[in-house]
Amino acid sequence: MHKRILAILFLGTLLATVAGLADERQEPQQPPDGTPRFEAWDLRIDAGANRLAAYQVELSYPPDRVKIVGLEGGETAAFKNAPYYDPAGMEGGRIIIAAFATDDDAAPAGKTRVARVHVQVTGGTEPGLQTKVVVAAQPGGAQIGVETELTRSVK
């Protein structure tokens, strides 16, 4: 009888341990619909061989699920300050952000993070952020073609 009780206790402990390990391997769950979460997204601009001295980018998003709650600057000295934007635009699903380098020598070439966008997302889906370049310029003001990239920030 003693051995049977010990065997049952041992088996119960083993099953609890295995169940606990299985829970640890599961992917983290998205919050249920209606529960807000906060995310940061990095906006990078690739100017290629050109140096980027100024940019204006339109950022659009579904206003029923996403709210922009903050903007901060980029990774280089040229764009370290938060970009300019219209605070009223933060409520309507579309905001235009812009910045310019005051020191032509600091204007970076290639791909650089120019801003970090902080958003509040309601529901368990992706926020659906979209970018569109309005204009970009090199030192001296000549327009250049650039590509944008918006990725979830890994702080």
- Would residue 6 count as lying in a domain? no
Tell me if 63 is assigned to some domain.
yes
The answer to the question of residue 40 being in a domain is yes
Domain CATH number, residue 105: 2.60.40.680
3-state helix, strand, coil in the chain (%, to 5): 25, 45, 35
Establish if 21 belongs to a structural domain: no
Cβ distance 117 to 40 under 8 Å?
A: yes
Residue 18, domain member (yes or no): no
Number of separate domains in the chain: 1
Digit-coded pLDDT (tens) for 88-143: 878 789 999 999 998 999 999 999 999 999 999 998 888 999 999 999 999 999 99
Is 133 a domain residue? yes
Note the pLDDT tens digit of each residue in 132-148. 999 999 999 999 999 99
Is 114 among the domain residues?
yes
Please indicate, yes or no, if residue 79 is contained in any of the structural domains: yes
pLDDT tens, position by position, 39-52: 999 999 999 999 99
Chain mean pLDDT for the chain: 83
Domain, as residue range, for 53: 36-152
- List helix spans (H) across the chain: 2-25
pTM of the predicted model as reported, rounded to 2 decimal places = 0.76
Asked if pLDDT for residue 13 goes beyond 90, the answer is: no
